[in-house]
Amino acid sequence: MTMHTSSETAALLDGIRTFIEPAHVRVDPDSCLNYGRDWTRLYAPNPLAVVLPGNVEQVRQLVRYANEHRLPLVPSGGRTGLSGAAVACRGELVVSLERLNRILDFDPVDRSVTCQAGVVTEAVQNFAREQGLYYPVDFASRGSSQIGGNIATNAGGIKVVRYGLTRDWVTGLKVITGRGDLLDLNRGLIKNASGYDLRHLFIGSEGTLGIIVEATLKLTRPLHEPSVMVLGVPDLNGIMAIYGLLRGKLELSAFEFFSEMALRHVLKKGLHRPFDTETPYYVLTEFENPDGLQTDEALALFEHCAEQGWLADGVISQSETQAKELWRLREDISESISEHQPYKNDIAVRISRVPALLAEIDGLLAREYPDFEVLWYGHIGDGNLHINILKPASMESAAFAKQCGTVSEHLFAVLQRHGGSISAEHGVGLTKKPYLHYTRDETEIGYLRAIKQVFDPNGIMNPGKIFD
């Protein structure tokens, strides 16, 4: 990467100030620290500067300027990612989309909303609710993550088991490619068989092909009076047995799991156990229950699971307030362990292969991490498992990351044998880049490189992410 002298840097930034207001070209240390990193905290931020364009034309001008001067760009949303995809650690220019934060249009017939990339996820959810509708892509970072970042990482979350990923809700995109061209992709159409659907190349591209500036999103009807059950499960095999039974009888909108060790971290933050019985694992499941009509069915299923030895205890929400409190047992895990600088693995496998994978990697992790605290949780209903290794307070971050990376090689080799993915929903970024070959073979990676060359011939878009 080209290094600039102080005078060259000053000249580059002065050039940007001719088309972006000087107040929105920042070089102060606080801005560089805040905008130059994401939630990984594994990399020291070192951006050249932070630029906050205020409209689509300014983004287009910036990309063209960056091409002219071979200036690397890192697109930035809410920076809640966990793979280092939004990190600027090698003198890149951070491009924050937070000023592109308007909801532009709502179509009640199409049940769609069009918004700029910097709109916060929760703002879209709230807007949909005001229209009597529902935007179902949901996760704990909803209050700070942005729609552009969600799309760039194809975000998943807690409702995938019923509603799918972000990809399933994007009907239109406007993007500025790495060449500086504005593309208006699919235009909100439900059916469009007119050739390659370039929209889907940008969904999940992690900012390596261009910058998403606008999106049209589908909405749906809201859930009808959802109820939440938390179940205590003695062993991992019981989790999948419960899932197989419940999804055949109830309209599930979520099926999550977490370990007792993960629960204990949440309890330290002031929450309460769902019931007195302690079990190694817990399941949280949500299902539609209008007027309580499914309560008797749910209780009968609970009794059957208990008779089979699949669960030891459980609770079902009796109010919306209690349902929200039960959800916090799962959703607050990531925040509750953040002070321990966890090394995160976010893996996926076909649902039918979850039990075999769990059995193999459970033994691997116990053997390789005898002195580390290992926490399990995840969206097990869609085959997505989160494995968090907590850093001992006395251990240096670099040494900890190196040891975890070595074990990840063994973990991903097991995952490869089961046909899984090294990243279910967090992306590749910097943290998973060395392991991409466990999920994509060299021929496929070659095609990925060729696609990037088409959209970003000068290599200015988020360089070094996904692959070198």
Do 125 and 88 fall within a single domain?
A: no
Q: Number of folded domains in the chain?
A: 4
What are the residues whose beta carbons fall under 8 Å from the beta carbon of 223, sequence distance 6 or more?
Answer: 134, 253, 286, 288
165: left (phi over 0), alpha (psi -120 to 50) or beta: beta
Do 329 and 345 fall within a single domain?
A: no
Do 130 and 200 fall within a single domain?
A: yes
CA-CA distances (angstroms) from residue 44 to 81, 91, 230, 308, 397? 15, 11, 39, 51, 12
- Determine the pLDDT at residue 1: 54
Any idea which of 39-43, 47-51, 55-59, 185-189 has the lowest mean pLDDT?
A: 39-43
- 256-265 residue pLDDT tens: 999 999 999 9
Q: Which residues pair with 114 in a beta bridge?
A: 105, 216
- 364-414 residue pLDDT tens: 988 888 889 999 899 999 999 999 999 998 998 888 888 998 889 999 999
- 294-323 residue pLDDT tens: 999 999 999 999 999 999 999 999 999 999
- Determine the pLDDT at residue 263: 97
pLDDT band at 64 (very low <50, low <70, confident <90, very high): very high
How far apart are the C-alpha atoms of 174 and 215, rounded to whole Å?
A: 6
What are the residues whose beta carbons fall under 8 Å from the beta carbon of 340, sequence distance 6 or more?
Answer: 373, 390, 391, 393
Do 345 and 307 fall within a single domain?
A: no
How far apart are the C-alpha atoms of 321 and 329, rounded to whole Å?
A: 13
Mean pLDDT confidence for 452-459:
98
Q: Which residues pair with 461 in a beta bridge?
A: 73
Show the domain range for 113. 103-218
> Is residue 462, in this structure, part of any structural domain at all?
no
- Determine the pLDDT at residue 405: 87
How far apart are the C-alpha atoms of 52 and 59, rounded to whole Å?
A: 9
| DSSP H or E stretch at residue 359 | helix 354-368
- 156-207 residue pLDDT tens: 999 999 999 999 999 999 999 999 999 999 999 999 999 999 999 999 999 9
- Determine the pLDDT at residue 2: 57
Residue 166 sits in a domain whose CATH number is 3.30.465.10
- Determine the pLDDT at residue 45: 95
SS3 content of the chain, % helix, strand, coil (to 5): 40, 20, 40
Do 173 and 144 fall within a single domain?
A: yes
Mean pLDDT confidence for 266-292:
95
- Determine the pLDDT at residue 178: 98
Do 127 and 151 fall within a single domain?
A: yes
For all residues of the chain together, what is the average pLDDT? 95
- Determine the pLDDT at residue 254: 96
Dihedral angle computed from the Cα positions of residues 393, 433, 417 and 82, in that order, rounded to the nearest 10 degrees:
50
Do 345 and 385 fall within a single domain?
A: yes
Taken in order 418, 81, 89, 199, the sign of the CA dihedral is positive
- Determine the pLDDT at residue 257: 93
Q: Which of 334, 356, 377 is the last residue of a domain?
A: 334
Of 4 and 379, more confident = 379
- Three-state DSSP state, 446: helix
Do 156 and 246 fall within a single domain?
A: no
> Is residue 312, in this structure, part of any structural domain at all?
yes
Do 233 and 327 fall within a single domain?
A: yes
- Determine the pLDDT at residue 331: 94
pTM of structure: 0.93
How far apart are the C-alpha atoms of 84 and 202, rounded to whole Å?
A: 18
What's the first-to-final CA gap in the chain, in angstroms?
A: 12
- Nearest alpha-carbon partner for 62 in 29, 94, 23, 99: 94
Per DSSP (E only), the strands in 145-225 are 170-177, 182-185, 210-218
Residue where the block lists tokens 């362990």: 337
Q: Which of 55, 84, 99 is the last residue of a domain?
A: 99
Q: Which of 79, 99, 119 is the last residue of a domain?
A: 99
- Determine the pLDDT at residue 346: 92
Mean pLDDT confidence for 28-40:
94
pLDDT band at 4 (very low <50, low <70, confident <90, very high): confident
Residue 18 in this model has a pLDDT that exceeds 60: yes
How far apart are the C-alpha atoms of 181 and 213, rounded to whole Å?
A: 12
> Is residue 464, in this structure, part of any structural domain at all?
no
Do 29 and 69 fall within a single domain?
A: yes
Do 93 and 155 fall within a single domain?
A: no
Dihedral angle computed from the Cα positions of residues 319, 323, 326 and 330, in that order, rounded to the nearest 10 degrees:
180
